[in-house]
Amino acid sequence: MRSIDAATVQRFAWRVMALLFAGSVVNYIDRAALGVVMPQIRRDLSLSNAAYGFAVNAFLITYMVFYILGGHLADRLGCRRMFSLSVVFWSAAKMAHFFARGLGSLCFFRALLGIGEGCFYPTAIRGTTEWFASDNRAKGIGVLLCGLSVGALLTPPGIAWIAANFGWRVAFLVTGATGLLLVPPWLVLHRRVRRVWGTADPVPAGESGDRPPAHAGNEPLFGQVLRSRKYLCLLAARSLTDAAWYFYLFWMPGYFQEARGLNIGSVGRLLWIPYLAADAGALGGAWASSAFIKREWPLDRARKAVLLGGALMAAGGAAACKARSAWLALAIISVALLGHQAWSSNMHTAITEVSPGRLVALLYGITGAAGTLVGAISQPVIGRLVDVYGYMPPFLSAGAAYLAAATIVLLAGRIEPIVAPSGAAGAGTGGL
């Protein structure tokens, strides 16, 4: 691989990041579109609420499974190949919703969508790790996470307009086809990478010396990482805060309608504000920790400073349930989501920094699957609490989750690469 100056590396890195960000936006739109047109689908396909729940779970199950398997494939094939494969697969699955004729076919297409979308984020994290060294990696991951919030902003008005004018089937067809538009520029970009580097799959971040090369003697086996306190603590911390994020994502619209008396029109006009704050948190948290590192703070100190600050801000969201007005509650939740994404941009980065380079997507995927699982399990519990006690217990639980996660991060020890126990190092994936 040719030696390339730092400015050229950064230029290509941000071009890759721009396409990963676009993929994140489209990924979120494609998964969230179902909820926007749910009443029309239920009517046209004669589905009960319970049947609709089966369709939702069909996506979640395969999404969780392929968060792990997709990470394994991304480590084997690299981000370049897996990006194209995952985008084409999920786009085709989304377009196939056009042909749904009943519960069985809808569940089948949702399951296929979960396969393709589950592969994407471990692949994107792999690409970010390949192109960004530790001093800038949180910036890339922060931009990637912004795609979630931008997708949340665009999905309701965009999908609703297409469905209102052309029907819900066309909405799936159009948004699915949009994903395919990402593939040609991705292939063109990597042809340029090949011309500059002499290979289509360079790992510029590895040249910075911020992590040992693949298969270095001190890299642990897959099973050794899974048993390490550092990794298990980060997995637990991410799972708790992912569940809190799902609470805000799925229950915030209902809270403002049922507990604060807003109509659906007002909710549509106001709930973009917390997601805009979340974008600011993702970027602000990423840039803050990168600035600390450039000021020669140790990596562990820089990450934890933002992680703990973000967790405290997010924990304050518990106060929303006692706010005197809907506007104050909205402001408190907006600050909480800002804190959550500041936390997330550094938590997701920290997971890549403790993981062996050859396993980074797989190990990241396992943490994502665990977070999705805890979030899914928590949903019926939240529903029961709301039915019996109102919204206060879920809000308090969400706040406590951030405090518990922050404590767990401190128990994890230093944020640094996990190494094999003395005399137990080896290459490979431990049976995978």
How would DSSP label each residue in 274-335? Answer: HHHHHHHHHHHHHHHHHHHHHTT--HHHHHHHHHHHHHHHHHGGGGGGG-SSHHHHHHHHHH
Sequence spans of domains, the chain:
1-210, 219-420
Q: Can you say whether residue 211 is alpha, beta or left, with left for phi > 0 and alpha for psi between -120 and 50 degrees?
A: beta
Q: Hey, what are 124's tokens?
A: 């994107």
d(CA 188, CA 83): 13
d(CA 303, CA 306): 6
pLDDT of residue 217: 53
* CATH code of the region 219-420: 1.20.1250.20
Dihedral of the alpha carbons of 169, 174, 175, 179, in degrees to the nearest 10: 140
pLDDT of residue 427: 43
- Its CATH architecture, for the domain 1-210, is Up-down Bundle (1.20)
pLDDT of residue 210: 39
3-state secondary structure of 393: helix
Q: Dihedral sign, CA of 277, 279, 285, 287? A: negative
pLDDT of residue 327: 94
Q: Hey, what are 270's tokens?
A: 């106001």
Contact 310, 285 (CB under 8 A): yes
| Contact partners, residue 134, CB within 8 Å, separation at least 6 | 210, 211, 293, 299, 349, 353
- Count CB atoms within 10 A of the CB of residue 175: 23
Q: Which residues of 128-159 are buried (b: 16+ CB within 10 A; e: fewer)?
A: bbbbbbbbbbbbbbbbbbbbbbbbbbbbbebb
DSSP 326-383: HHHHHHHHHHHHHHHHHHHHHHHHHHHHHS-GGGHHHHHHHHHHHHHHHHHHHHHHHH
Write the CA distances from 333 to 28, 383, 392, integer angstroms. Answer: 21, 19, 14
d(CA 192, CA 361): 24
Q: Hey, what are 15's tokens?
A: 């071009």
Residue type, 20: L
- The DSSP call for residue 417 is -
pLDDT tens digits, the chain, 432 residues: what are they? 456 667 788 888 899 999 999 999 999 898 888 877 877 888 899 988 778 778 878 888 899 999 999 999 998 888 999 999 999 999 999 999 999 999 999 999 999 999 999 999 999 999 998 888 877 888 889 999 888 878 877 887 888 888 888 989 999 999 999 999 999 999 999 888 888 877 766 654 544 433 334 344 577 888 999 999 999 999 999 999 999 998 888 788 778 878 888 876 777 778 888 989 999 999 999 999 999 998 999 999 999 999 999 999 999 999 999 999 999 999 999 999 999 999 999 999 999 999 988 888 899 999 999 998 898 888 888 888 888 898 999 999 999 999 999 999 999 999 999 888 765 544 444 434
Rg (CA), the chain: 21
- The DSSP call for residue 210 is S
d(CA 399, CA 392): 11
Is the pTM higher than 0.85? no
194-199: long-range pairs with CB below 8 Å, 24+: 196/2, 196/4, 196/8, 196/12, 197/1, 197/2, 197/4, 198/1, 198/2, 199/1
Q: Hey, what are 6's tokens?
A: 């730092």
